[in-house]
Structure 1
């Protein structure tokens, strides 16, 4: 091995070790679940051991899946102390895997493609079932996203679709210019947008808008106030939510609609203040009205 290749080899080996630990901790959690008396509920599915396995080990792209999106596995699991310890171990392994990925992305980006190709084959029992199923590539974000956990016993859970529609990030003219300069500045449409931006006062705020897919949100109502006085909490639940329950019983919970509402049910926020058409289409940047 050449000295130049040594750092890359070490980084890939460390990432492989972190992935191995993630799989091992996940299998330990699943084994503990199979031995526990925990009640579980799954959204539009049978809350079986097979369902939980699919949810926790869903690390793959489906054919045609947008790389920016992740699949959801909504459910509730009543967890005793042993299960909660196993969940904490899985989340710690996910955090370590994410840290290793971030280091590679920042320092050796070409290694990411190699990692996606190599990691699935380290665990043949995971990879074998992919043949013919349209699942062939590792989805890194689905690997490191954390399992949601309630920090205290819950009296009831109310699940609801959250359709925020758009996320809005306020940017300065300088911020937007930097983003435009990362594009192909020789392209005519980018040059046009740079000229438009140059005509704005440097102090004018702009808004970058990103469409968001509907997601499921759980509103938790605690059995007792927390130390900070809170009695409830809202959290997004793309993976099964583990709820502290020493006796393995689920709290009262509702059945949300099968699909999100087609139109907004909440009042529109600051996006009403944005112009109707993007000022810089390549970046989805809008001007504010009446500034």
Structure 2
């Protein structure tokens, strides 16, 4: 990475920090209604801390992010500060990602983790504890106020990718094939027919989903989005009222909220546990 690139990335980080400060100032000055359930943030100062926290906390797992749902009414100044902050976040992410991708041809791997060179550069400039996921995530914003927002836990809980036996074998061969348990799994996948399909399953953390509804005279608009931060909502100064909403449980349900298709059921017992691969039933 050239010195020019380093300066560009650090300047982008500085602009992000300035946008965070401006956003926080506007948020703390807000006199509009808000709804903040849960333990992380129940007041505007706590919400400001949540929005602007881009650093790892002591003991925090790097794979996790701090989350909180809710709604915060916003005047035009806070709306503009939110737009500028989201733009600064996107600019910093673009530069950081471009730098990561310039270090290696293995782009798929680098898309999922910070490169060692980026981490080293951030450390040299006092930013080694920067939490990139919390830097990058956009603040949810509605520039027009919905009639209602329904909040619910989305707990399907799994990301599923179909694999052929050959693809599964290739993944196993990248592991330590001298280990007996890997050899056993290679033997198992070798007994499959070429047309057999497998499922690689990645368990996911339940997320809070917001379902806003805008009702107009002649139409109704519905949307759905996952939200890890309170939603900033533009309120009419003549009628500064939050949209109607429900109050979901503060913790996600233990069971899945979606019914699995009968023709795509997956054996709960891993077939190739080292790579999280299961067989389809039936």
TM-score where L is the length of structure 2 = 0.81
Shift in Å at residue 165 of structure 1? 2.4
Query: Within 5 A, what are the aligned runs for 1:144-155?
Result: 144-150=136-142, 152-155=144-147
Which segment drifts farther, 170-179 or 21-30? 170-179
Out of 26, 35, 38, the residue aligned to residue 44 of structure 1 is 38
For the residue of structure 2 that corresponds to 1:73, the secondary structure is coil
Matched residue, 2:159 = 167
Alpha-carbon RMSD across the aligned residues, in angstroms, is 2.8
Alignment map for 1:1-291 (pairs within 5 Å): 7-44=1-38, 47-108=42-103, 109-118=115-124, 121=126, 137-150=129-142, 152-224=144-216, 231-247=221-237, 248-269=240-261, 273-290=265-282
1:219 to partner: Cα distance: 1.5
- For residue 239 of structure 1, report the CA deviation from its aligned partner: 0.9
Q: What stretches of structure 1 move > 4 A for 4+ residues in a row? A: 185-188, 269-272
Shift of 1:238: 0.4
- Does the aligned pair in 2 maintain the 1:104–1:111 contact within 8 Å? no
Distance across 2 between alignment mates of 1:190 and 1:106: 32
8 Å Cα contact 2:27/2:48 also seen in 1: no
SS of the aligned residue for 1:200 comes to coil
Q: 1:8 to 1:50 in 2, by over 3 A?
A: same
Distance change (3 Å), C-alpha of 1:117 and 1:253? same
Q: Deviations over 1:38-67 (max 9, x none)?
A: 322212256433112211122233444333
| Contact 1:40-1:47 at 8 Å conserved across structures | no
Q: What is the Cα deviation at residue 92 of structure 1?
A: 1.4
**5+ residue gaps, structure 2:** 104-114
Q: CA deviation at 1:70?
A: 1.5
Report how many residues are paired.
268
8 Å Cα contact 1:38/1:78 also seen in 2: yes
The answer to whether the 8 A contact 1:217-1:235 is kept is: yes
Asked if the contact 1:177–1:197 (Cα under 8 Å) also holds between the matched residues in 2, the reply is yes
CA–CA distance in structure 1, aligned partners of residues 142 and 232 of structure 2:
6
Offset of 1:192 from its aligned partner? Answer: 3.8
* Contact map agreement 1:81 1:246 (CA 8 A) in 2: no
Give the whole-Å Cα distance in 1 for the aligned partners of 2:261 and 2:79. 37
1:224–1:182 Cα change, 3 Å: farther
Cα shift readout 1:214-253 (whole Å, capped 9, x = no counterpart): 2211111113389xx6521121110111122232432122
Deviates more, 1:158-167 or 1:189-198: 189-198
TM-score (norm 1): 0.79
